[in-house]
Amino acid sequence: MATSVITPPAIPYALHWPSHNRLPVLFHSHLLPVCVGSRRQCFARKLALQFWSTNFPQHYRRRTSVWAVNQNAEESFKKTVAVDRLIDMLRDANDKEKDYEELASLLMNLVDRLVDKTNEKIESATDVLKAILKPVVDEVEEIPWPPRDPETLKLMEKELKQREQEGHLDEGFLSEVTAQLRQAKEDGDKPGVEAMLQKVLQLYASRILSKRSYSTKGNEVLRDEQFLETIIKAPEGEWNKMLIDGMTVGKGEISPEELDNVIKKRIERTLIRTEAGSYQQRVLVEYLKGIQSRSDEIVQLLQG
């Protein structure tokens, strides 16, 4: 008899604001394996059973694991009993199959360590984000943006720079910020949170992109590249004035076409130098496209 399989959905993210701390905490919800015990134990069983079913199909005909998402208690209990029976089969295996039981045990231990490491990284990323946002967050319920004190952004930037030098702004950190930004946009009722997280990504992109310069070629200074790099280093709030003062449609010497070309070149270089599909690649490219989009808006405004 064929067994229906429920494919686990993508883990949703939720933004929780605990009473003792104003900073958002990311957590996962609505993903319940059909197993009694901790998530680690459930995942370890799942891994062992997948191995067992692949090597001994005569004992276990199903080649896929069964997951239940928000099923009722009775259905979950029935499936848990089925899993326990299969575990018992492992215990009753003959000598040849005992080797596979030992391997399954090793795999479970490996899973334990991987889960511990993952939890450490998640906690570390959350702590780093809290430290960066600390100058902005106060005791009031609503986060003001832009901050009332101009020095706040400088403190944020200083903290981000320090964390980047320590190697803490990795993919886990960018994943944390991106997930919470997505949740803030979906909620739509925390504009201060959304702007604050967006600023963190902008500061990150500005710092990373500013590390590499293409504004000189031998003894020649490439004005268009130099102009782009000046914008990259500047706060987003200053882009409009800089574009008007720097482009030929305003008061400057760089044509919109020249700026557009160097932005495209920088995007291509970024795609080559970063891992495909990574959060870093996405954040850096979106930052450059943001400059490109702002430039187009200025050109349309001044020429329209």
Q: Which two tokens stand for residue 239?
A: 């882009």
Residue 270 confidence (pLDDT) above 90: yes
State the Cα–Cα distance between residues 189 and 292, nearest whole angstrom.
29
The per-residue pLDDT for range 66-112, each reduced to its tens digit, is 333 344 455 556 656 665 666 666 556 555 555 666 667 777 777 76
- Distance between CA 101 and CA 32 in Å, rounded? 25
Say if residues 147 and 193 touch (Cβ distance below 8 Å): no
* Mean pLDDT of the residues in the chain: 75
pLDDT at residue 106 in the model: 72
Domain boundaries, given as residue ranges, for the chain: 13-109, 212-304
Residue 115: pLDDT over 70: no
Q: How confident is the model at residue 29 (pLDDT cuts 50, 70, 90)?
A: very low
User: Is 266 exposed, middle or buried (CB count within 10 Å of its CB: 0-12, 13-18, 19+)?
Assistant: buried
The region of weakest confidence among 64-73, 87-96, 163-172, 278-287 is 64-73
The residue written with tokens 């134990």 in the block is 41
Per-residue pLDDT at 72:
46
In this predicted structure, what is the pLDDT of residue 223? 95
User: In the chain, pLDDT over 90 holds for what percent of residues?
Assistant: 44
For the ranges 41-55, 100-114, 144-158, 224-238, the maximum mean pLDDT occurs at 224-238
Q: Which residues contact 83 (CB under 8 A, 6 or more apart)?
A: 34, 35, 45, 49
Specify the pLDDT at position 46. 58
The pair phi, psi for residue 216, each rounded to 5°, is: -125, 145
Residue with tokens 């990150």: 204
pLDDT of residue 191: 81
**What is the distance between the alpha carbons of residues 255 and 245, in angstroms, rounded to a whole number?**
11
Partners of 25 in the β-ladder: 16
Is pLDDT of 165 > 80?
yes
What residue type is assigned to position 129 of the chain? L
pLDDT of 59 strictly over 70:
no
Beta-carbon contacts of 274 under 8 Å, excluding residues fewer than 6 positions away, are 280, 281, 284
User: What is the C-alpha to C-alpha distance for residues 3 and 22, in angstroms, rounded to an integer?
Assistant: 46
Is residue 10 scored above 60 in pLDDT? no
Q: In the prediction, which pLDDT does 9 show?
A: 39
For helices 279-303 and 256-273, angle between their N-to-C axes, nearest 10 degrees: 170
User: Cα–Cα–Cα angle for 166, 168, 173, nearest 5°?
Assistant: 165
How many C-beta atoms lie closer than 10 Å to residue 196's C-beta?
Answer: 24
Q: Which long-range contacts (CB under 8 A, 24 or more apart) does 41-46 make?
A: 43/111, 43/115, 44/107, 44/108, 44/111, 44/112, 45/83, 45/87, 45/108
Q: In 58-143, which ranges are continuous DSSP H helix?
A: 73-91, 95-133
